[in-house]
Structure 1
Amino acid sequence: MQFAIENALPMLERTPQVIETMLYGLADEWIYSNEGGDTWTPVDIVAHLIHGEKTDWIPRTQVIMGEGSKTFVPFDMEGHHAVKKGKTMSQLLDEFKILRKENLAQLKTIDITEESLNRTGIHPILGTVTLRHLLAAWVVHDLTHIHQLSRVMAKQYYDAVGPWVQFMGVLGGKR
């Protein structure tokens, strides 16, 4: 499928609701558990999404669409720690929902044409990227973290599923 803004927007609009449906009201054992070691919990993932809403997608879109330097500010992969500090999952989910709504409203004010989708910015690691790349990556980034949430949560029942683990793709099984 080729990237089209009219197909991307419904996906971006749904992410907060999908994540809220997955996480709202769950016990701490679900939202503060990870996959072991220094991996992320659902709380970390939602805080990371919030940090991205504040510092990544729209700011980088503005860099591409604006005048002057086309170089993106590097993304702080540890920025989610400050976002989550002192907040409940419910507060984080509400914040994500509000920020995403505001960001999509802002995105909809931009005249996104075939020409503007080909405009470029400079990513600190990837080099030259287009607005098309950035907006498609936003959609796939959301889907990546929805997948990650599913995997992190499924991992909590790895032992409990017993021999069925071989059929549970989310746990590394064959299906």
Structure 2
Amino acid sequence: MKLEFALTRLSANAEVLAILIRNATPEQARWKPSPEEWSILEVTCHLYDEEREDFRTRVRLTLTDPAADWPPIDPVGWVTARNYNAQDPAERLEAFLAERRASLEWLQGLENPNWASKKTHPRLGSATAGEMLTAWVAHDHLHIRQLNHLHWQWLAKHEPPFPLDYAGGW
């Protein structure tokens, strides 16, 4: 992936994510379609943590010190350990957006990054910095899809008696 394309996508994705998150009421932000699924707020907190503790950190380490251990992460465990659904939705969104701006500034400041630089992880195998950058962009798209689905599920559950059949199936 070319850096310019990644910068454009990461920036645009942040705008899309912000719209999807901001347009949820506090009740909707905390609502979960089932106990196993995440709420909009939990997705928001996850994006914030992943921005700081996963993608930017791991891309940086892969570029600058591929032999260094990556810090451990536990995205699924953090949902409960960090009490995501009790957080303030607006504060978490602004925190994520601030971290994304920091990521974009850092990426823009890179001089001749070696995207082929490779990290070998004992459990996950090897990944290049370029693969990690591409995964970062893809991660955004997965959560954009997830947030859209959460909005659709909310509409289906909370707006009866009007069915959504005419719109088409999810």
TM range (shorter): 0.7 to 0.9
Give the C-alpha shift of residue 26 in structure 1.
Answer: 2.9
Distance in 1 between residues matched to 2:7 and 2:156, nearest whole Å:
35
Distance in 1 between residues matched to 2:23 and 2:167, nearest whole Å:
30
1:76 aligns with: 74
2:6 aligns with: 8
Aligned length: 165
Distance in 1 between residues matched to 2:85 and 2:112, nearest whole Å:
36
Structure with the larger helix share: 2
Distance in 2 between residues matched to 1:110 and 1:163, nearest whole Å:
47
Judging changes above 3 Å, is the alpha-carbon distance between structure 1 residues 165 and 80 closer, same or farther for their aligned structure 2 residues?
farther
Distance in 1 between residues matched to 2:66 and 2:142, nearest whole Å:
32
Amino acid paired to 2:109: T
Give the C-alpha shift of residue 19 in structure 1.
Answer: 1.8
Say which SS state the counterpart of residue 73 (structure 1) adopts. Answer: coil
TM-score w.r.t. the length of structure 1 is: 0.82
Distance in 2 between residues matched to 1:140 and 1:104, nearest whole Å:
16
Say which SS state the counterpart of residue 149 (structure 1) adopts. Answer: helix
Higher-RCO chain (CA-CA 8 Å, sequence separation at least 6): 2
1:120 aligns with: 118
**What stretches of structure 2 of length at least 5 have no aligned partner?**
none
Residue 28 (structure 1) aligned with residue 29 (structure 2): no
User: 1:105-153 CA distances to partner (integer Å, 9 max, x unpaired)?
Assistant: 112222245xx11111124543100111100000000010010001112
Amino acid paired to 2:78: G
Distance in 2 between residues matched to 1:68 and 1:133, nearest whole Å:
14
Judging changes above 3 Å, is the alpha-carbon distance between structure 1 residues 32 and 162 closer, same or farther for their aligned structure 2 residues?
same
Give the C-alpha shift of residue 30 in structure 1.
Answer: 1.9
Say which SS state the counterpart of residue 128 (structure 1) adopts. Answer: strand
Say which SS state the counterpart of residue 120 (structure 2) adopts. Answer: strand
**What stretches of structure 1 of length at least 5 have no aligned partner?**
none
TM-score w.r.t. the length of structure 2 is: 0.84
Amino acid paired to 1:92: R
For residues 1-175 of structure 1, what are the structure 2 equivalents within 5 Å? 3-24=1-22, 26-67=24-65, 69-77=67-75, 78-81=77-80, 82=82, 84=84, 87-113=87-113, 116-123=114-121, 125-158=123-156, 160=160, 162=163, 164=165, 167-168=168-169, 171=170
